[in-house]
Structure 1
Amino acid sequence: MRHLLFVSLLLVCGLVRAAELPETDWLELMPKSDQKALEAMPEIDHNSPEGQGTFDSKGGLKQSKGLPAVMYSTKTVASMNDKIIRLGGYPVPLETDAKGHSTLFFLVPYPGACIHVPPPPPNQLVLVRYPKGLKISDIYTPLWVIGTLKVEKVNNDLADAAYALDASKVRVVVEADL
């Protein structure tokens, strides 16, 4: 009987560990008014003046002037502050440790954001702090990031973000996740 209880406890612990938080959708980070404005926005042609983001003197890509206001939005969703979430996205490395592991990076909703123009609005960029670090060999590799989300304005030479996340776990998305 004692053995059966121990095995049951191990199975339950394993299931709890295997089950992750439900995925947070990127749109949950935008107020409804921004979602509507984004949906109503005309498609941006990357060859148009609106699509020609401006590189600043330090080499970062910033939003060019003249885009619809939603593309500069730092409006956040207050109920997301201090919430533990699981967010999927793509890394834009900012800092690495001595082993070459990324400890600070932006998480963006689609591959190549901040490289292609225009970059996502600040409320669709999340600064991730991950002291353990993760080896990022390809910015097109999707990640799951779990941690506590903070409403926090971040100004960086590369981009601006309206949120920061103190990550407790970061891992590469694998085929079994899909």
Structure 2
Amino acid sequence: MRRLACLLLLFCCTLARAELPETDWLELMPPEDRKALEEMPDISHDTPEADGTFGQQGGLKQQDKNLPAVMYSAKTVAAFNGKKIHIGGYPVPLESDAKGRSTLFFLVPYPGACIHVPPPPPNQIVLVRYPEGIQLDDIYAPIWVDGTLKVEQVSNDLADAAYAMDAGSVRLVEEGDL
């Protein structure tokens, strides 16, 4: 009986350490938004931001109000509220601790989203809270984030996000992950 209990405990610990399956960014969009994104016409990059001269706001907020509605969408997928996920992306640091580790950042699906035109829609931006902090020396280096996702509207001067996450772990993507 004792041996069975030990095997059961070992099995449960193994399951607890198993990595969650990767969540694809497009899964965070409702089907109608994914369809609209697929059918969207090419976007002009003829803006001051594309030339490297930024307006007063800049950041991840949409500057061009003539884009298709999907580019402003904050529609979410309710099934993700409270769900533990594993997602890869790129950080846009917001706050750091005394040691310079990022404790609050936006996670976006592609590198340089804070300077690309157009930025991702709010349902493709996740505010990540990670009190432990991570040293981010290069915002172009992809990271993995594991944690509990919440449907939570977040808005600040830099961006509007439709999701937030309390991260349990954050780490740089390593070559072996690819």
TM-score calculated relative to the size of structure 2:
0.87
Match of 1:89 in 2: 89
Cα deviations by residue, 1:97-147 (Å, 9 ceiling, x for unpaired): 110000000000011112111100000000000000000000111111000
Deviation, structure 1 residue 9: 8.1
Offset, 1:19: 2.7
Distance 1:57 1:48 in 2: 14
Structure 1 residues 177, 151: CA separation in 2 closer, same or farther (over 3 Å shift)?
same
1:57 Cα offset (Å): 3.8
| Equivalence for 2:114 | 114
1:50–1:66: 8 Å Cα contact kept in structure 2? no
Aligned to 2:38: 39
> Is residue 2:160 matched to residue 1:160?
yes
How much has 1:81 moved relative to structure 2? Answer: 0.3
What CA distance in whole angstroms lies between the structure 1 residues aligned with 2:160 and 2:73? 10
Residues 50, 141 of structure 1: alpha-carbon distance in 2 compared, 3 angstrom cutoff: closer
Q: Aligned pair in 2 of structure 1 residues 17, 81: CA closer, same or farther (>3 Å)? A: closer
SS of the residue corresponding to residue 86 of structure 1 reads strand
The structural deviation recorded for 1:156 is 1.4
Residue 56 of structure 1, CA deviation: 5.9
Does the 8 Å CA contact 1:88/1:142 hold for their aligned counterparts? yes
Residue 26 (str. 1) matches residue 29 (str. 2): no
Q: Tell me how large the CA RMSD over aligned residues is.
A: 2.7
- Take 2:26 and 2:157, find their aligned partners in 1: how far apart are those partners? 25
Which position in structure 2 is the counterpart of 1:78?
Answer: 78
How many aligned positions are there? 177
Alpha-carbon separation, structure 1, partners of 2:68 and 2:119: 13
Q: 1:110 to 1:32 in 2, by over 3 A?
A: same
**1:20-74, Cα deviation, whole Å (9 max, x unpaired):** 0000111110000000000000121322689789956455342121100000000
How much identity, in percent, do the aligned residues show? 71
The answer on whether the counterparts of 1:54 and 1:62 sit within 8 Å (CA) in structure 2 is no
Paired amino acid for 2:86: R
Unaligned runs of 5+ in 1: none
Task: Give 5+ residue unaligned stretches, structure 2.
Answer: none
2: CA distance, partners of 1:167 / 1:102:
12
SS of 2:42's equivalent in the other structure is: coil
Instruction: Name the SS of the counterpart of 1:37 in structure 2.
Output: helix
| C-alpha separation in 1, matches of 2:121 and 2:90 | 15
